[in-house]
Amino acid sequence: MFNKTVLDNGIRILSKEMPDTRSVSLGIWVENGSRHEARHQNGISHFIEHLFFKGTEQRSASRIAEEMDSVGGVLNAFTAKEYTCYYAKVLDENLPLAVDLLTDIFLHSVFDREEIERERSVILQEISQAEDTPDDYVHDLFSLDFFPDHPLGRPICGEAATVQNLHREDFLNFVRARYLPGRVIVVAAGHLGHDYLVKEMEQRLGTIQNSKLNIQNSESSAPRLQSGIFQHAKPLEQVHLCFGVAAIHQSHPMRYAAYILNTILGGGMSSRLFQEIREKRGKVYSVYSFLSSYRDVGYLGIYAGTSLDWAEEVVELILREMKRLGAGEIGQEELERTRNQLIGNMILGLESSDSWMSHITKDEIYFGKAISLEEITQGIRSVSRSDVVELAASILRPEAMALTLLGDVEKKKLELSGAFEG
């Protein structure tokens, strides 16, 4: 059962009551992420997320941590491209504490100057760590290559230069301008009552008003997508590859067909890429495909890590499997198996209160309503073979793809351009 209430100031309150569980997951979500940052602000949303845990008018940073640890709960946050989430997961009896802690950090964080400098150092280490993790870093490089000169392409953590130049006044102004009631969604799932949640949030968040400040950004414009081959030299044992081709946005009517196409291609151990490149040939340890979708744009991506000597062959194998799908080489049995895989993965993935909390929030952001399991299942079941073939033929075109490589590419010249001819 889904519930939704909109406060007078525009804050949305969503809940899913799960009477058979003992946990409650509560999140305060803001429709603000790295996409909403100007070039010189890159990383400010992520920096603010860190600072919300560094002390309020009533609680020190250590007290915030101690209060949640004392009940065995989880208090955390994350920043994405189009939203930021502050959340807690507790036993049902400790929901009042979760409400008090989350609303306190959301409303009364002090942004202490000493804490800002300490956290700046932490974030710079986080950026350095990401750059030292090539299987993650290649995705950041791909985004910069694929979405040139657009906020969607920039790293969520920011770059060292931009993080160094952010100051307390920048954070305060950004929160006043971006953390507006119409962008705030409070979501809970688990053993709770919706009326209780609405009452508490009305008392604590109901007086938040809109700000007259406005920060300019590029959120309203879709990015220009860039195809081609982009090689980034770094002395590594492996070459890390990230492909991408324009696909579907979050609410696209062909999204269920895209889920199936992605799963067939590289969405599990039985997928074509895993079986062909790892199991049959032993050319990679890791290879998979994925969908990255936003409000107005999305892409189908593929990652693989291999040796420099095998990189060209791995690229050829990936492109071959993509061409096979685009040519319609999909059997009815494979389609049915993939449907069942998706539905099973979805249901198993929604057995916890925190997964439901996240699920219904993203539904609200991208669809304006909660989508039931029955509706999603029906959407997956209704996808025909011709739907998948049509989508594959329209997007899996080598000449429209981008390929980012990270590794010791200066040691050996890779001949890849011929593989990308249509």
Query: CA distances (Å), 156 to each of 47, 82, 148, 393, in order?
Result: 10, 10, 15, 32
* CB burial string 21-30: b at 16+ within 10 A, e below: bebbbbbbbb
The structure tokens listed for 260 are 């199936």
Rounded-to-10 torsion of CA 144, 145, 148, 153 = -30
- Report strand pairing: 298-307 vs 238-246: antiparallel
Question: With contact defined as beta carbons under 8 Å apart, do 188 and 357 qualify?
Answer: yes
Annotated catalytic residue: which of 31, 37, 49, 321? 49
Nearest to 58 by CA among 110, 117, 5, 102: 110
Active site residue 49: yes
Distance CA 213, CA 329 (A): 54
CB atoms within 10 A of CB 140: 21
**Dihedral-angle region of residue 113 (phi above 0 means left; psi in -120 to 50 means alpha; beta otherwise):** alpha
Distance CA 11, CA 9 (A): 6
Distance CA 419, CA 281 (A): 20
DSSP state, 93? Answer: G
Q: Which residues are catalytic?
A: 49
